[in-house]
Amino acid sequence: MPTPTPTPTPPVPPPGPVDLSTLPKADPWAVLPAAPVDPDPSGTPSGEVAYPVDPAGIALYDAPGGEPFAVLPVEAYKGVTGYPVVAHRDDWLQVMIVARRGLPSVVGKEGVNSATGWVYGPQTTTSTLDTVIEANPAAGTVSVVTNGQVTASTQAGFGKAATPTPHERTFVMSIAANPEAQYSRLFVYLAAHSPTLDTFGGGPAPIAIHAYSTYSGQISNGCMRIPANKLDPFAAVPTGTPVVFVS
């Protein structure tokens, strides 16, 4: 008996019209329970990064050809954001986003981070980055790695037990000054959020790499503290640069 020929899976069609004004913006303030979970939160992304073409942003979907649940903005927070691509299906891209899936007080530590969404590829431009930031809490270090070579590395302080640094992979959301925090000239804001704090300083609680006078051990509210004279290489990476945790 001949082997049956498998029926090919039809390609996922392009999306239909979406009224973006009816959708929440996927920024650090957003809580998006419909966001799909990152399929490989401990892996290193390929370096492919997507950028929405439309200045108004583009729709995020819960699956290729699925339901829209948010708007992926050009600027998520304090500047243009690149979004790492973690999966492909036909013309669709699964990207990491900066929103939370839930508040810690509601969903617990494991339900906060690793939010993603699907976008229609032709609505984006893409580039490939050759740099990744590697954080090693056990060793107390954080490093910039370009083309597989460590180009900068420093001692770093991480979160306290009550306010830990999340260890799922994330990415650089923006790099900017914070006039209310003069202890660091610049902040390398990440897409990850505190897994225990609903808010911080009256706003959301994204993690950052920043300078501080003390930078060893479990000492922070979740951020990675480094010496001021070691900040420049971290502040020079493009947005969308993956941040991974190693041991």
For 144, the token pair is: 């910039």
Please give the model's pTM, rounded to 2 decimal places: 0.94
Provide the residue range defining the domain that includes 123: 23-128
Of 105, 128, 151, the one marking the end of a domain is: 128
pLDDT classification of 1: cutoffs 50, 70, 90: low
Span 168-182, pLDDT tens digits: 999 999 999 988 888
Check whether 21 has a pLDDT greater than 70: yes
CATH number at residue 203: 2.40.440.10
Same domain, 145 and 239: yes
Q: In angstroms, rounded to a whole number, what is the distance separating the alpha carbons of residues 144 and 154?
A: 9
Q: Average pLDDT, whole number, for the chain?
A: 95
Same domain, 49 and 139: no
140 located within any domain: yes
Same domain, 123 and 146: no
For residues 155-180, give the mean pLDDT: 96
Same domain, 139 and 100: no
Check whether 7 has a pLDDT greater than 80: no
Q: Are 206 and 193 in contact (CB under 8 A)?
A: yes
Domain count, the chain: 2
Of 67, 96, 128, the one marking the end of a domain is: 128
Of 128, 163, 188, the one marking the end of a domain is: 128
For 27, the token pair is: 């920024």
Structure confidence at residue 137 (pLDDT): 96
Q: Are 100 and 145 in contact (CB under 8 A)?
A: no
Same domain, 104 and 208: no
